[in-house]
Chains A and B, each alone.
Chain A
Amino acid sequence: MISRANQGLSHLLLSRLFQAGLVAWLVGTLTFVLTRTLPGDMAYRIAAGRYGHDMVDGAAAEAVRAELALDQPGLSAYVGWLWDLLQLDLGRSLVSGRPVIQELSHQLGHSLSLAVIAVLLSLLIGPPLGLAAGRKPGGVLDRVSEVAASVLRALPAFAVGLLLIMLFAVTLGWLPAAGHGGTAHTVLPALTLALGLAAVSSRVARNAMAEVSHSAYYAFSHTKGLSARQSFWRHGLRNASVPVVAYLGVQFVYLIEGVVVVETLFAWPGIGHALVHAIVARDVPMIQGTALVMGLLFVLLNTAVDITCYLLDPRRRRA
């Protein structure tokens, strides 16, 4: 029994590892091809990114072209990049000149801390609310939370963030409006992301709970004499949690999209912000590095979600 379960798990991990390699190669190759085929002269774009639009001119562009050997054919540049990648060398940023890995660790750290707090906050808000609402479908809590969730999900993260700044920073003066450096600075951007995430996860939890509470086994738990609380803890929570956890995987997509917007709004020096700037400045190693890390992160997070579901749901282990 145990060895079969382990086999399933190692099979899952192996296939994910293969996926990660494939993602790394595909993402790198695609970004390479795409940035090469974008219109406009790369040397000029990089010079504009480096020296600003007041100082970019033909001389600056030619200096950049010579320095970075942009004239070399695409294929040899690609092979060079692939060879470096195999040695885990992501190269240097064309704009700042610092190693990509250094830039990424600075920015990824900021993005990850923001995302982790946002997910934790959303888990504190969304699922408990949804589970409570799902126990009495159609009740007051269910209806109020449905309206709130619809409004929050319909508003773009940008608008939610602005409203939060106006309320907590300008009117109440409890929290800083934007910037980074202190714990207090994390609250508003994380809350902005968390509200969007919680809006969806509360509904998923509510539906899962409603389904569980209508099921025969849940009715039977009452019949056999368990109180409402006992039924919920023993038979409700675990069954309802599988779809919520599985849905987290999907929510990471929202998180990545939200991080780009929220980082710009709150002047947060994260990876989404960096990616946008790198694309504008044609900073190819930075684009490749950022996309690579984001792609691998996706694989990693989905693996974590799979493993959690695997542990939560014994049926999967037997299947």
Chain B
Amino acid sequence: MAQGVRDGIYDLLAARGVSRRDFVKYCGSVAALLGLSEMYAPQIVSAVEAGAKLKPTVWLDMGLCTGCTESLAQVDTPDVASIVLDLLSVNYMETIMAAAGTQAEEARTKTIADGGYVLVVEGAIMTGEGGNTLRIAGKTGLEILKEAAGKADAIICVGSCAVDGGWVNAAPNPAGGKGVLDVMPELKAKTINLPTCPVNPEWIVAMVVDVLLLGKLPAMDDKNRPTLIFGSTIHDNCPRRGHFENGEFVEAFGTEAEVKQWCLYKMGCKGPQTMTNCPSVRWNRRASWCVESGSPCIGCGHVYTNWVDASAPFLSRMTDVNLPGLGGVRPETVGTVVGAAAAAGLLVHGIASAATGRTSGPPMETEKAWDKKHKASKGGDN
């Protein structure tokens, strides 16, 4: 890259209060977020340097609660002002844009006419009542999506509603809420799905870097989810996993077991069948995440049916659920498999459970097998 252009970018960043050092550090954290080695940081740096012009972005509000926009405002690095002012030119985003009505519509139609933009979709695509369950400026939400989708370079569906209708799609789906790819499957080649309710903002940033700066879509599974984010279960990476192994379970809310952060599996935790990296990325600038707060995971990252129908009742252990896809294979609805798999897991680790809702297995042992085995040996402070 010509030195002049490079200097220009650092002048631009400096004017925006970003030092070169901060910038390189930021690229390192983005690399980590993408699951790349820090060695990739220089490549991200040069990719950013190449993009002196801010990428136009259209953020569509469909059948939404605005929670995913709210979630974006909770992003850790870079801060939200940097995203909407320094990384992207967010020409249309109803919740935060200055313009309204005609002036807002002009901003959207002009950006679409010019092409070369990223489209972000938040909320379910509303198909009920002839699509009139969502009306914007005299059009249906679906008409607005169709106008915007064709010329977009890439489409990022943020949150479960845009991915598969989310809670709006839950039975009996009275308003006809659906996911973007359900109504426009032809967009599959350029769409990234980021489920959960709301979306985790760190993932949006990672995708922005992937699409804009590395210039490609990330590796994705059969449901267009980036595999780096949605490739393993919450249970696999849960900080409470050790307690699961030890057979230490929360049996009721408000108890000492909760203070000790024991495993919430018996309280209905959907961590074993939910594939996201929540335990490592965490939420709200990494302040905490669902399981750490004491609630079982409610499986809001499910994508094979909407997460509410897949995971409710949330405070009951499931014996009939959709297991997440294994190796990209469409999962089957299985009644016995989860019971058997869970039982197998418990047995392998030398424990059993008398939890209500479990289909089989011997009663819970009063003493953990590991303790029994190691009782005689010395250790720790002995």
Q: Do A and B come from one complex?
A: no
- Give the interface of A toward B (CB within 8 A): none
